[in-house]
Amino acid sequence: MSSIIDRIGQWLHDLLVDAIMNNLTGMIGAVNDEVGSIAADVARTPQSFSPAIFGMIRNLSETLIIPIAGIIMTFIACAELIRMIIDHNNLQNFETWIFFKWMFKTFVAVTVISHTFDITMAMFDLAHYVISRAGGIIGASTAVDASGLASLRDTIDAMGNGALFGLYTQTGIIQITLFALSKVIFVIVYARMIEIYLMVSLAPIPLSTFGNREQSHIGQNYLRSLLALGFQGFLILICVGIYALLIQGLTISTDIVASLWGIVGYTILLCFTLFKTGSLAKSVFSAH
C-alpha cells in the first residue's frame, strides 16, 4: 500500500516539476516575443501601420481641413500686411521691399500647407529610423537564454510536493501577469498610433500659422508634439529592454520564489514607466 502511495507521490512530483519548468520556459519565451513585437510595432510609420486608416485620414484632411487652414492663413496674411503698413507709418515711410517680404512669407505659408503630409511624415520617418536601429540593438542584447533553466531543475526536484504546488501556483500567476502586461503594451502602442492619426488629421491648421511671427508658436509646438509622439516609441522600446535585462536574473538565480516575485515587481514597474513615456517625451521636446 505504501509503495502505491509513494508511486502516486512521485508521479505527482514529476508532473509538478514538468509543469513548473514549462511555465518558466513559457515566461521567458513570452518576454523574448514581446520585445521583438514591440520593436516592430512602435517602429511603424502611420502609412505602414494601417494604410487604410492613413488613406482615410489624409482624404479627410485634404478635403475638409486644408480649406479651413487656407481661410486661417488668408486672415493671418491680411493681418500681417496691415501690421507691416502700420509699422511703416501708414506708408509715409514707404519701402517696396516690405511687399516682397510679405509675398515671400505668404508663399512659404501656402507651400507649407500644400505639403502638410510630407512635413508631418518626415517627423515619423526620422523616428522610424531611430527606433528601427535601436530595436535591432535592444532585441539582440535582451534575449533571455532559457538554457539556464536546466540548472534549476535540480533545485526544483529537491522540493516537496507541497512546496512544488505553491511554486506552480506562483508561476501560473506570473504567466497571467505577463499576459496582462502584453495587453497593456498593446493598448499603449495602439493608443499612441491612434493619437498620431488624430494629430495628423488636423495638421494643416497649426501649420497655417507659420506665416505670422506672433502666431507661429502654434505650429512650432505642434511639430514638437509630433516629434514627441514619434520618439515615445523609442522610450517604450527602452523600457521593455530594461525590463528584459532585469528578469534575466531568473535564469541564474537559485532562489526561484524570490526571482518570481522579483518579476512581479519588475512588471509593475514596467507598466508604470510605459504610461509615463508620453509625458516624458513631451517634456523632452517642450511640447504641451
pLDDT tens column, 165-181: 877 888 788 778 777 77
Torsion sign, CA atoms 254, 258, 260, 264: negative
Per-residue confidence (pLDDT) for residue 88, from 0 to 100? 64
Most confident of 25-39, 158-172, 181-195: 181-195
More confident residue, 114 or 153: 114
Mean pLDDT of 120-136: 84
Q: For residue 14, what are the contacts with CB-CB under 8 A and spacing of at least 6?
A: none
Per-residue confidence (pLDDT) for residue 213, from 0 to 100? 74
Reported as a pLDDT band with limits 50, 70 and 90, residue 56 is: very high
More confident residue, 73 or 28: 73
Here the cell at position 261 is 516575485
Per-residue confidence (pLDDT) for residue 84, from 0 to 100? 76
Mean pLDDT of 87-91: 62
Radius of gyration of the chain from Cα atoms?
Answer: 29
Reported as a pLDDT band with limits 50, 70 and 90, residue 156 is: confident
Mean pLDDT of 53-76: 89
* Domain carrying residue 141: 2-284
- Distance in angstroms (rounded) separating the CA atoms of residues 115 and 47: 16
Per-residue confidence (pLDDT) for residue 105, from 0 to 100? 82
Q: 79 pLDDT exceeds 90?
A: no
Q: How far is CA 16 from CA 157, 163, 168, in A?
A: 10, 10, 7
Per-residue confidence (pLDDT) for residue 197, from 0 to 100? 93
Per-residue confidence (pLDDT) for residue 16, from 0 to 100? 77
Average pLDDT, the chain: 79
- Distance in angstroms (rounded) separating the CA atoms of residues 285 and 225: 7
Reported as a pLDDT band with limits 50, 70 and 90, residue 151 is: low
Structural domain count, the chain: 1
Residue 73 CA, chain-centre distance (Å), reads: 33
Per-residue confidence (pLDDT) for residue 252, from 0 to 100? 52
- Range list of H helices, the chain: 2-42, 46-49, 51-60, 66-87, 97-114, 116-141, 153-157, 161-201, 204-207, 216-246, 256-284
Residue 112 CA, chain-centre distance (Å), reads: 28
Q: Are 226 and 143 contacting, i.e. CB atoms less than 8 angstroms apart?
A: no
Per-residue confidence (pLDDT) for residue 89, from 0 to 100? 61
Per-residue confidence (pLDDT) for residue 270, from 0 to 100? 80
Per-residue confidence (pLDDT) for residue 198, from 0 to 100? 92
Mean pLDDT of 266-279: 84
Q: Are 242 and 19 contacting, i.e. CB atoms less than 8 angstroms apart?
A: no
Q: Are 72 and 208 contacting, i.e. CB atoms less than 8 angstroms apart?
A: yes
**Cα-based torsion angle of the residue sequence 239, 182, 38, 192 in order, rounded to the nearest 10 degrees:** -80
- Distance in angstroms (rounded) separating the CA atoms of residues 274 and 277: 5
* DSSP string across 187-246: HHHHHHHHHHHHHHHTTHHHHGGGG-TTTHHHHHHHHHHHHHHHHHHHHHHHHHHHHHHH
Per-residue confidence (pLDDT) for residue 194, from 0 to 100? 92
More confident residue, 129 or 167: 129
Per-residue confidence (pLDDT) for residue 109, from 0 to 100? 84
Percent of the chain with pLDDT over 70: 78
**Based on the number of CB atoms within 10 Å of its own CB, is 219 exposed (0-12), middle (13-18) or buried (19 or more)?**
buried
- Distance in angstroms (rounded) separating the CA atoms of residues 254 and 256: 6
